[in-house]
């Protein structure tokens, strides 16, 4: 996420269009060039997850990371150098939609099979392993989808250490392994699969079910057993080791160069800035473009945190007037996005030029963006658009990139943020869109309407925190609608604005559900907004899920 979680609007539309046209090929070519700033690879245990396009591939990577083992998701057809670069102790083969007998079926790289290292094949990964090692796979007479029970027949297999003899799993497959490859035996059975698991008595294992999903009991333990008991990983990839190695790597890479970093108020850019600052101190300058579209109190907090507490060199640009000037009269949401993105890039570049020669731009790209941008999977255009709007500044800026979070998931970034002692409000801040409040003031954005929205939004935040719900919610905010309604206050008729309150739960913003918050919290929230915010006389709660709605109203 380029300028972190928030400021990436500039490319939202361009990327969406490029993706739909099927030619989004952004960062792949820069992949290797960017890796060094992410820690020494020799000192930590790693495994490679070979991606065959399963919807669960990212989940496998997350599960591995939970065991403090570093891993990367690598497309099945990636050049061998990418596998070698992470020096994996073992491989996990993901599931995938293909059938091994299909024309162009994706195969396990020969170098993986020849490596002599442990391999865990999951679903399609198991079928590919069976097929390529001389077994037979065929379509199952009954597709197995959903919960099933497996009975372990080879309790000696290290992957089943300390597991009960039978447990519930999640199946999702059409093909089955009909004949095991030479030297393999069935290690578990289910009603529909005589080989729900296979094992060669050594480091090669196949699981027909999905240990990475929560519906498989002991799923995490199965993965942990593979990592520790089969691959010999020690789980030495911790937040502390990440911080230490990353700081060291940044120091090496930057040398005596100068770095700039755009702060947005969000956790990603904050963590990047602190890591880089710890590595090279004064050689870092942060630029905070206040676009006048942030929530109440946020600009102050950014300045206080980074300049006062952390002692960083911070350029604070109050650009509210120029953003609002360009937004005047604009009501179309996509046009607002384009303007905010454009203006940000213009001002950022202008400020950067004033600093003289700069060698590097540090930014908060996260791993899901990297995966989306480089994978060859079957992700729909829609899903790509959603994650791609965070991919970043234009590529022609004259800086080399430092992306220390390029291999982290969001929750890992929060852990690093906490380890770096960043304030709670930054570490746990809800995602906030790059165009900021401009897309929450529906219709024309004016300073007065922003003020009204900020006041209502601050009350929503207050009440959400008071109810102890902030961390449970994915996002919570107020929207200022262009609707006016009649009300009565005291003896007077009022004709005021309607504020909508949106609170959603979600895992990744791709889908979301409206939050079933207690009525007891909605009541003070509503009465405070109506009483404390001038010109607002009605509050509504949005009970639309995504899809068919979106999280934002514009």
| Residues in touch with ligand XMP (CB under 6 A) | 6, 8-9, 12, 337, 389-390, 431, 433-435, 475, 509, 546, 550-552
DSSP string covering 181-204, please?
PTT-EEEEE-SS-TTSEEE-SSSE
Q: For ligand XMP, give the closer residue by CB, 62 or 337.
A: 337
Exposure b/e, 307-346, CB count within 10 A at least 16 = b: beebebbbbbeebbebbbebbeeeeebeebbbbbbebbbe
Q: For ligand XMP, give the closer residue by CB, 169 or 340.
A: 340
DSSP string covering 221-282, please?
HHHHHIIIIIT-------HHHHHHHHHHHHHHHHTT--EEEEE-SSHHHHHHHHHHHHHHGG
261 catalytic per annotation: no
* Catalytic entry in 68, 76, 173, 210: 210
Separation in Å, CA 544 to CA 95, 500, 505, 538, 551:
33, 12, 12, 19, 9
309 secondary structure, DSSP code = I
How many of the other CB atoms lie within 10 Å of CB of 235? 14
Query: Rounded to the nearest whole angstrom, what is the least distance from the CB of residue 198 to ligand XMP in the complex?
Result: 41
Tokens 């197995």 map to which residue? 144
Residues contacting residue 245 through CB under 8 Å, at least 6 positions apart: 39, 40, 43, 44
> What is the dihedral sign for C-alpha 137, 143, 147, 152?
negative
How far from the centroid of its chain's Cα atoms is residue 296's Cα?
26
Cβ atoms of 453 and 481 within 8 Å: the answer is no
Query: Rounded to the nearest whole angstrom, what is the least distance from the CB of residue 239 to ligand XMP in the complex?
Result: 25
Query: Rounded to the nearest whole angstrom, what is the least distance from the CB of residue 415 to ligand XMP in the complex?
Result: 20
Query: Rounded to the nearest whole angstrom, what is the least distance from the CB of residue 440 to ligand XMP in the complex?
Result: 9
How far from the centroid of its chain's Cα atoms is residue 483's Cα?
35
Distance CA 218, CA 167 (A): 8
Looking only at the bridges linking them, the beta strands covering 119-122 and 204-207 are parallel
Distance CA 242, CA 40 (A): 9
Q: For ligand XMP, give the closer residue by CB, 49 or 293.
A: 293
Q: For ligand XMP, give the closer residue by CB, 9 or 50.
A: 9
Query: Rounded to the nearest whole angstrom, what is the least distance from the CB of residue 430 to ligand XMP in the complex?
Result: 8
Q: For ligand XMP, give the closer residue by CB, 55 or 545.
A: 545
212 catalytic per annotation: yes
Query: Rounded to the nearest whole angstrom, what is the least distance from the CB of residue 298 to ligand XMP in the complex?
Result: 15
Beta-bridge partners for 466: none
Query: Rounded to the nearest whole angstrom, what is the least distance from the CB of residue 553 to ligand XMP in the complex?
Result: 8
Distance CA 253, CA 401 (A): 11
Query: Rounded to the nearest whole angstrom, what is the least distance from the CB of residue 351 to ligand XMP in the complex?
Result: 20
How many of the other CB atoms lie within 10 Å of CB of 103? 6
Q: For ligand XMP, give the closer residue by CB, 48 or 551.
A: 551
What is the side-by-side strand order in the sheet with 166-179?
A: 70-75, 46-51, 90-93, 119-122, 204-207, 197-199, 185-189, 136-152, 166-179
**Two structure tokens written together for 45:** 């245990």
Query: Rounded to the nearest whole angstrom, what is the least distance from the CB of residue 417 to ligand XMP in the complex?
Result: 18
Query: Rounded to the nearest whole angstrom, what is the least distance from the CB of residue 215 to ligand XMP in the complex?
Result: 26
Tokens 């380890």 map to which residue? 419
* Catalytic entry in 71, 123, 233, 261: 123
Query: Rounded to the nearest whole angstrom, what is the least distance from the CB of residue 389 to ligand XMP in the complex?
Result: 5
Q: For ligand XMP, give the closer residue by CB, 6 or 403.
A: 6
Q: For ligand XMP, give the closer residue by CB, 333 or 487.
A: 333
Phi first, then psi: give them for residue 516, nearest 5 degrees. Answer: -85, 70
Distance CA 101, CA 30 (A): 34
Q: For ligand XMP, give the closer residue by CB, 419 or 509.
A: 509
Q: For ligand XMP, give the closer residue by CB, 106 or 433.
A: 433
Q: For ligand XMP, give the closer residue by CB, 329 or 548.
A: 548
Pick from 384, 371, 509: nearest CA to 12: 384
210 catalytic per annotation: yes
Distance CA 227, CA 93 (A): 13
* Catalytic entry in 8, 212, 298, 343: 212
Which are the catalytic amino acids? 123, 210, 212
């Amino acid at each position: 996420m380029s300028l972190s979680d928030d400021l990436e609007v500039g490319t939202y539309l361009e990327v969406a269009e490029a993706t739909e046209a099927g030619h989004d090929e952004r960062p792949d070519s820069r992949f290797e060039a960017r890796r060094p700033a992410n820690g020494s690879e020799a000192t930590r245990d790693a495994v490679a997850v070979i991606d065959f396009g399963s919807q669960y591939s990212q989940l496998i990577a997350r599960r591995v990371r939970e065991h403090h083992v570093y891993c990367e998701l690598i497309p099945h057809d990636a050049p061998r150098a990418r596998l070698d670069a992470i020096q994996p102790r073992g491989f996990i083969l993901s599931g995938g939609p293909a059938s091994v007998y299909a024309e162009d079926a994706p195969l396990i790289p020969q170098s993986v099979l020849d490596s002599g290292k442990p391999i865990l094949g999951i679903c399609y990964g198991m079928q590919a392993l069976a097929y390529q090692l001389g077994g037979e796979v065929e379509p199952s007479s009954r597709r197995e989808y959903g919960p099933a029970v497996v009975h372990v027949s080879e309790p000696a297999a290290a992957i089943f250490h300390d597991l009960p003899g039978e447990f519930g799993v999640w199946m999702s497959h059409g093909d089955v392994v009909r004949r095991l490859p030479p030297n393999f035996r069935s290690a578990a059975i289910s009603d529909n699969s005589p080989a729900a698991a296979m094992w060669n008595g050594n480091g090669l294992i196949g699981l027909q079910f999905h240990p990475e999903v929560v519906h498989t009991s002991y799923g995490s333990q199965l993965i942990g057993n593979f990592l520790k008991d089969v691959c010999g990983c020690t789980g030495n990839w911790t937040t502390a080791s990440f911080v230490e190695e990353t700081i060291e790597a940044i120091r090496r890479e930057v040398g005596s160069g100068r770095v700039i970093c755009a702060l947005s108020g969000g956790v990603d850019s904050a963590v990047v800035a602190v890591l880089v600052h710890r590595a090279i101190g004064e050689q870092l300058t942060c630029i905070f473009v206040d676009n006048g579209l942030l929530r109440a109190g946020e600009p102050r907090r950014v300045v206080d945190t980074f300049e006062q507490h952390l002692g960083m060199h911070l350029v604070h640009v109050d650009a509210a007037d120029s953003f609002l000037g360009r937004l005047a009269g604009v009501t179309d949401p996509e046009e607002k996005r384009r303007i905010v993105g454009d203006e940000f890039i213009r001002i950022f570049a202008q400020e950067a030029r004033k600093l003289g020669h700069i060698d590097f731009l540090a930014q908060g790209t996260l791993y899901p963006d990297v995966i989306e941008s480089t994978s060859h999977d079957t992700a729909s255009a829609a899903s790509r658009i959603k994650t791609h709007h965070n991919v970043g500044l234009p590529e022609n800026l004259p800086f080399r990139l430092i992306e220390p979070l390029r291999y982290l998931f969001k929750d890992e970034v929060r852990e690093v943020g906490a380890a770096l002692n960043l304030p709670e409000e930054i570490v746990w801040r809800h995602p906030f869109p790059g165009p900021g409040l401009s897309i929450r003031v529906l219709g024309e954005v004016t300073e007065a309407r922003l003020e009204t929205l900020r006041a209502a939004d601050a009350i929503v935040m207050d009440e959400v925190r008071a109810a102890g719900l902030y961390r449970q919610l994915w996002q919570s905010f107020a929207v200022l609608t262009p609707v006016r309604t009649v009300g009565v206050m005291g003896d007077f008729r009022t004709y005021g604005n309607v504020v909508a309150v949106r609170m959603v739960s979600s895992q990744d913003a791709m889908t979301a559900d409206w939050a079933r918050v207690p009525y007891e919290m909605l009541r003070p929230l509503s009465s405070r907004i109506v009483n404390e915010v001038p010109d607002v006389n009605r509050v509504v709660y949005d009970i639309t899920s995504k899809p068919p709605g979106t999280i934002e109203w514009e």
